[in-house]
Structure 1
Amino acid sequence: MKHFYQFQQRLVLFISLGLLLSLLASSFMKCNALEDSTDISDARDFVSNYKNQTGLSRKLLLSPDIGDGSKRIGEECSKDDIVVFQGSTVPLPNGVPAFTVEILNACASDCSVAEIHVSCGWFSSVRLVNPRVFRRLSYDDCLVNDGQPLAPGQTLSFQYANSFSYPLSVSSVSCF
């Protein structure tokens, strides 16, 4: 009887280890597939799994060996430094399509971007969107992050639900 319990414990251990390894392998394969892909929709699918979070991304700088090291890539910021990703996500229980939006400050130098305004048409959502994260001020003018700065590499995300997705594009920013 003692051997039977030892066998059961080892079996549970091996099954748990196998599940863990298969989970790690699938995560590794998904990351590799994303790195190998040049299709932006793959990146959108990858980032659309996150809900209302902020995070940091890598920023690439020139090597300090080039020149005196004081110059960074792109000293001035512009609205092109803000990247908006949008992708569909799981619909609401009543069947209304839902979408995830990721807004990234992709500025390669040390620039914070504030007062980010987005062209958004008559943006509205069945699902509540935190107005400090994203809100419509007037027709075709939405404000991001309550006008507060997004640091370099910082990402802001939210989800909304409507019968169709709204085309979102950055219309103006202020640089700091």
Structure 2
Amino acid sequence: MRAPSPSTSVAAMKALAASAWLIVLLGSASLATASAALPPPGVVVGVAAGNNVTGSTTSSGGEGAAATAGRRRPTRFGEGCAGAEDISIYQGPASPLPGGVPAYKVDVVNRCVGGPVACAIAGIHVRCGWFSSVSLVDPTMFRRLGRDDCLVNDGRSLLGGDTVSFEYSNSFKYDLSVRAATCVRP
């Protein structure tokens, strides 16, 4: 049997590199498409008058990104806040721990575009199962209150366009979705 010629090896390496880049690009495109989907619409819980609360919503959750495509715009309160409907949660892989335990980066984003003051959202609760992490997560950023109930940003308001980010480590990724959020005046 003959050894492959150097030109064959170079061609094979180029083909392998091109395939790897194609996989990376396709993966990035699918992540961007999934991130662009709107969260499921919420249900109006109540509107309080005469205090700092302008509205409260809960999200029905439990539906995938594909099911939310083409939905109507969120219900707006006053100057533009829609509570839970304006909160998006994105998560993806982060650098694993030295022992090989997978890590995940989470971004909780207030997507309201009515301006920082008009879009302040507080009391952001997330469905999180029995959330736990091998590495410490700052409890003022994200903590579990009970089964399937985690609190974001210590309950404080998240202004329009702001993001709370944290990383956690576990052998599997938790399915995180918005449970409830309240529109407030900061």
TM bracket, shorter-chain basis: 0.5 to 0.7
Structure 2 distance, partners of 1:168, 1:140, is: 9
From 69, 92, 101, the equivalent of 2:97 is 92
TM-score, normalization by structure 2:
0.57
Question: Which string of whole-angstrom CA distances, capped at 9 and with x for unpartnered residues, describes residues 91-146 of structure 1?
Answer: 10001000000010001112100000000000000000000000000000000000
What is the TM-score normalised by the length of structure 1?
0.60
Aligned partner of residue 130 in structure 1, secondary structure:
coil
| Counterpart residue number, 1:133 | 141
For the structure 1 residues 152 and 76, does the alpha-carbon distance in structure 2 shift closer, same or farther, using more than 3 Å as the test?
closer
Deviation at 1:40, TM superposition (A): 3.1
Structure with the larger helix share: 1
Alpha-carbon distance between aligned partners in 2 of 1:92 and 1:136, rounded to the nearest angstrom: 22
Whether the aligned pair in 1 keeps the contact of 2:125 and 2:152 (CA below 8 Å) is yes
Letter in 1 for 2:30: D
Asked if 2 retains the 8 angstrom alpha-carbon contact of 1:120 and 1:139, the reply is yes
Mapped to 1, the partners of 2:148 and 2:158 lie a distance apart of: 21
What amino acid is the match of 1:117?
Answer: H
Following the alignment from structure 2 to structure 1, what is the Cα–Cα distance between the partners of residues 34 and 95? 17
What secondary structure, in the 3-state scheme, does the structure 1 residue paired with 2:85 have?
helix
In structure 2, do the counterparts of structure 1 residues 75 and 42 end up closer, same or farther at CA, with 3 Å as the change threshold? closer
Find the counterpart in structure 1 of residue 81 from structure 2: 76
Q: How does 1:2-151 map to 2 (within 5 A)?
A: 39-41=30-32, 75-109=80-114, 110-151=118-159
Paired residue secondary structure (2:88): strand
CA 119–42 in structure 1, closer or farther in 2 if over 3 Å, else same? same
Distance 1:74 1:81, change over 3 A: farther
- Give 5+ residue unaligned stretches, structure 2: 1-24, 36-77
Cα RMSD (Å): 2.4
Runs of 4+ residues deviating >6 angstroms: none
User: Contact 2:122/2:155 (CA < 8 Å) preserved in 1?
Assistant: yes
Relative distance call for 1:146 and 1:152 in structure 2 (3 A) is same
Matched position secondary structure for 1:84: strand
Q: How many residues align?
A: 114
Alpha-carbon offset, residue 158 of structure 1: 0.2
Do the aligned residues in 2 keep the contact of 1:74 with 1:108 (CA within 8 Å)? no
Contact 1:102 1:158 survives alignment (8 Å): yes
Query: Does the 8 Å CA contact 1:87/1:99 hold for their aligned counterparts?
Result: yes
Identity %: 50
What SS is found at the alignment partner of 2:130?
coil
